[in-house]
Structure 1
């Protein structure tokens, strides 16, 4: 078995044509898994806060579900990153998705027996699916060249759109399914999440062979060998890691995620408080998620062509506009809240793809998955803080104040990135 694997690896290492075929095949598998994964993550976004509100009887802790599953996503991001670095993307990503599915099952059980403790624990585990859905975007870049990286990331993101947009719009139908099973209506989306996440994990475990990260490592090792620098591999790798680039990429990812999660988390509560129906809420969140993922292919091409920094600045201004529109939008205005959430999703999309490209540019294949996992830990922790604080801000001030805070945070991103661009000796376009 070892010899066969070695022969297969050698085939990819020495054939550029085989590498490109595997690159395209990997993107196809990621596309398939992300469709399921997108449907899974939509459940917590759409009804997680509403479920907690019903079970806790207060809005003050409405941000707690998002806090818990983002904390869970932080832990799982680290675990998935470590597993991927050691064993390959296949094991890391399939573990994360299946764990998310198990968490969704736990939420279903908790809601049926009205157990708050189990609900919180299950939401924590459910978060594994969220972080894995994000980390899957890296798998398509392992065999991509420098001019394909942002585009490869965006292709994975586009696939998420199909499931993520369908998910919120299935809130009402899945609620009917749940009621037919004598369960609370808000459990319905988590039934969808359980099935979707587990299917995503099984898709990757069964079909992501050979593993793109392991092949990329073998190719890199062969290149060092051909250059007769085997003994210097460790030193060379460390010296090529651009710490400033990793920091800036992480800052872009964390800040854009905090702003997006904070405003998005409280929008369903804000809308429900102004008499909007569950279907209307699902439609707005569905369009928001579409804006998060659907523009990805165009964003990836822009990042590769016009540069990382330009798109980061655009992200800051779009997120600021989203916060401003959210702050001034009447609570019963479906149109203006939809505009705010679409801008919020688009700004996040720009930040995610440009920040991801900066991190990939700043690392090597020998440390990339581990670094990506570590960065996503901070992204998840930032989202956790944003979701928790958003509930407190809205409870003690207003949704408008939350929008203004998001606007100010977004504008802070612009001078920091511009300053770093011109002060740093490193270049990431």
Structure 2
């Protein structure tokens, strides 16, 4: 009996990047088996692209502050390059969605990789010319590239049947783990590639890996997309003022913001304490591995213990990271703190994201998720800016002391909500 066939335009709409609702815009019939093979192929393409595209943030975070120390006219501006990277990510999110809505995902991702190559060339040129402002422009453009890369997991989920989306996202996360190795290793291998110009070679390698992603992304096969305008639902202002949404948003902002706050300052603090640039880069590598590694089981933990409990555990781990950092300035303390920070971010951010899905109806999810992402990355950029200023003014220990009140403000209501949910849950007899 022949396999059942269906058209690619379906009644089951698919959630695209940043909450935009998309569906296939083609009348070409596609068999179930063929569509499954194409979906698996696209997942492999996106996994490879993630391994290359995800290396760029590691390079910027590892070296942005160190290059700032060389070029910045003021000590208060040394972390400005990393802060501008996060600002570029925040500002690039909505334009990236518009580009992919108008021209399709593959073309949008190709444009993003071009941004990545240009970013590396601009940053390297800034180092060669000794121009801090040019280097900063390069890191900000790298943020535009990251705005495209962070959506690869959504594209992978849309490429496969509904029951396979979790597996698809996990496989793309494997690319993130590879990126956590590639980025710091490129820093170590290429930082002295150009004599007398430290770190310029590392940003040239950033441009190179972005160019390497172009032929990989060109193999992506996705049909054209059309945005479906959703109507109905509550006004966005009403949703944003609801206690459930505010708690989920605050938990996500604190998880992501504190991670960025500490990670931005960590490489500079390590070098200032006498550790090498290579040791600082390896610390960031272990941190990023800890950020992505738990993703393979975080979903099961949420299913077992609940969103609020896992989010609270993530915040507790971030506080534990600060305690370790305050306990000493040796290499072990820095690295262990960064690992705990990465795992805490994973639990806190993924748990908070899952909490957001409880705050809207299907008709409201586009505007709610879009508002959440915009506020999230805006707060991350602000935390990055504040980190450099506070590190210069008060030092590494003060940055870690700042963690505890921020965690406590969110941890208390999270635990209260988790307790109420546990008591309301039906008890087995």
Q: TM-score range by the shorter chain?
A: 0.7 to 0.9
| Partner of residue 48, structure 1 | 64
| Higher share in helix | 1
Does the alignment pair 1:407 with 2:425? no
Post-superposition Cα deviations, 1:102-141, rounded to whole Å, max 9, x if no partner, equal 1221111111111222222222212112333322222223
Partners of 2:234 and 2:106 in 1: how far apart? 26
- Secondary structure of the equivalent of 2:274? coil
**Range moving further from structure 2, 83-92 or 270-279:** 83-92
CA contact 1:320–1:411 (8 Å) conserved in 2 = no
Partners of 1:327 and 1:352 in 2: how far apart? 24
The Cα shift of 1:184 comes to: 1.4
Q: What RMSD over aligned residues (CA atoms) do the two structures have, in Å?
A: 3.5
| Partner of residue 336, structure 1 | 333
Higher RCO structure (Cα 8 Å, ≥6 apart): 1
| Partner of residue 228, structure 1 | none
- Secondary structure of the equivalent of 1:140? helix
Partners of 1:20 and 1:408 in 2: how far apart? 48
Post-superposition Cα deviations, 1:115-174, rounded to whole Å, max 9, x if no partner, equal 222222222212112333322222223356776555543432231111222211332311
The Cα shift of 1:389 comes to: 1.0
Partners of 1:150 and 1:185 in 2: how far apart? 42
The Cα shift of 1:275 comes to: 0.9
CA contact 2:231–2:363 (8 Å) conserved in 1 = no
| Partner of residue 210, structure 1 | 222
Does the alignment pair 1:353 with 2:350? yes
The Cα shift of 1:375 comes to: 3.4
Counterparts in 2 of 1:417 and 1:154: CA distance versus 1, 3 Å: farther
Report how many aligned residue pairs link the two structures. Answer: 399
The Cα shift of 1:383 comes to: 1.7
| Partner of residue 208, structure 2 | 195
Post-superposition Cα deviations, 1:18-62, rounded to whole Å, max 9, x if no partner, equal 554444333222201100012222110100100011012653222
| Partner of residue 309, structure 1 | 308
| Partner of residue 260, structure 1 | 259
Partners of 1:152 and 1:305 in 2: how far apart? 21
Post-superposition Cα deviations, 1:254-297, rounded to whole Å, max 9, x if no partner, equal 22111011111111111111111111111111111111122222
Counterparts in 2 of 1:302 and 1:107: CA distance versus 1, 3 Å: same
Partners of 1:34 and 1:308 in 2: how far apart? 27
Give runs of aligned pairs for residues 190-339 of structure 1, distance below 5 A. Answer: 190-204=203-217, 206-211=218-223, 214=225, 234-235=230-231, 249-304=248-303, 306-328=305-327, 330-331=328-329, 333-339=330-336
The Cα shift of 1:423 comes to: 8.4
CA contact 1:246–1:362 (8 Å) conserved in 2 = yes
Partners of 2:414 and 2:111 in 1: how far apart? 35
Give runs of aligned pairs for residues 157-196 of structure 1, distance below 5 A. Answer: 157-179=173-195, 184-196=197-209
- Secondary structure of the equivalent of 2:158? coil
**Range moving further from structure 2, 233-242 or 41-50:** 233-242
**Range moving further from structure 2, 319-328 or 41-50:** 319-328
**Range moving further from structure 2, 91-100 or 291-300:** 91-100
Q: TM-score, normalised to structure 1's length?
A: 0.80
Partners of 1:144 and 1:314 in 2: how far apart? 31
Counterparts in 2 of 1:144 and 1:382: CA distance versus 1, 3 Å: farther
The Cα shift of 1:357 comes to: 3.9
Q: TM-score, normalised to structure 2's length?
A: 0.80
Partners of 2:268 and 2:158 in 1: how far apart? 40
Post-superposition Cα deviations, 1:215-261, rounded to whole Å, max 9, x if no partner, equal 9x7xxx8xxxxxxxxxxx94467799986676555433322111011
The Cα shift of 1:68 comes to: 0.8
CA contact 2:192–2:199 (8 Å) conserved in 1 = no
Partners of 2:185 and 2:207 in 1: how far apart? 17
Pick aligned residue for 2:372 from 375, 392, 398: 375
The answer for unaligned runs of 5 or more in structure 2 is 1-6, 10-23, 425-429
